[in-house]
Amino acid sequence: MNLIFTKDLTKQFESVCAIDHFSWSVPEGSLCGLLGPNGAGKTTLLKILIGMTHPSSGMAEVFNLDAQKQSVEIRKHTAYVADDKGLYESMTVGALIQFYSKFFPDWSEGSIDELIRVWQLNVDQKIRDLSKGMRTKLYFAIAIARKPKLLILDEPTEGLDPVSQEEVLELLTHWLTRGDRSAVIASHRLEEIERVCDRIAVINQGKLLLSGDLDEIKTNWKTLELVGDFSVKDSIVSVVRSGMVSRVVTNDYSAFQSELNEKRIKPLHVFDMNLRDIYLASLRKGGLNHDSIEALV
């Protein structure tokens, strides 16, 4: 069953197309990493899914509910942790927690108390006096205490020190293993996504470049060095030739290997690709120029 389903989803802001005919599906029980450069459309997409922004055309569903017409029902089961972490500045931590708790009937006092203790949140401290990292922890604690079926996280570990990043990631993976739960994480931290996510989606200029099960993608994507003639098909992402040797990136290793076998070409080397390699290769194929990609590394 699909947790998220979009078809031809488009969002136009005057002359800028933030989301461009975006068709995507994510099955229930997934931890999906949403990857893309700054300005790729990630935040706009997340806001459409919970009804904070309306698309110009196309459709989006979450829990088989229409994101435009049934956003209130979607939000009952979804916790959205935004990148800007907007909170009530004049409130104390304790007052803010009490404020949020009144809106959610499934609120877990045990969860929030435990996270306050572990993360050493001072309930008497004003929100405006919290560091960005502590704000993130507080927002995350409130999201978990709601007991949502779906967590939507926009750069969840931004501003955290390495120890706090580890704490948040451990909490997230632990939370997902307990019950029927899912999450979508928009992040530029590839090592975090590769570590905790079982699915990925790559977006750039509002277009979906790559989506699927991460293990399957890693199995299908390979870099080969070989000598010989071969046809450039859809299964080839890029080819770089240096003298007689071609360095080929393929997103369908099995199909490309079959062609090489037919032509009796044996690769000199076959290399596995990590998420960083796959991400950058998909951006190049999607039209991001070399200078822009170098800025991401």
DSSP states along 229-241: -----TTEEEEEE
pLDDT in tens, 53-63: 999 999 999 99
CA dist 292 to 76, 162, 226, 250, 280, Å?
A: 39, 27, 28, 22, 10
Query: What's the confidence (pLDDT) of residue 162?
Result: 87
Give the Cα separation of 103 and 107 in Å (integer): 8
| CA 235 vs CA 239, 250, 259: distances in Å | 11, 6, 11
The amino acid sitting at 4 is I
Residues of the chain under the 50 pLDDT cut: 289-297
Dihedral over Cα of 106, 170, 199, 11: its sign: positive
Residue 183 CA to residue 198 CA, distance in Å, equals 10
Domains and CATH numbers, the chain: 2-215 (3.40.50.300), 220-296 (3.30.70)
Q: At what angle do helices 162-176 and 132-145 cross, to 10 degrees?
A: 10
User: Tens digit of pLDDT for each residue in 195-246?
Assistant: 889 999 999 999 999 999 999 999 999 999 999 888 877 789 999 999 999 9
At residue 191, what is the residue type?
A: E
Q: What is the structure's pLDDT at 85?
A: 61
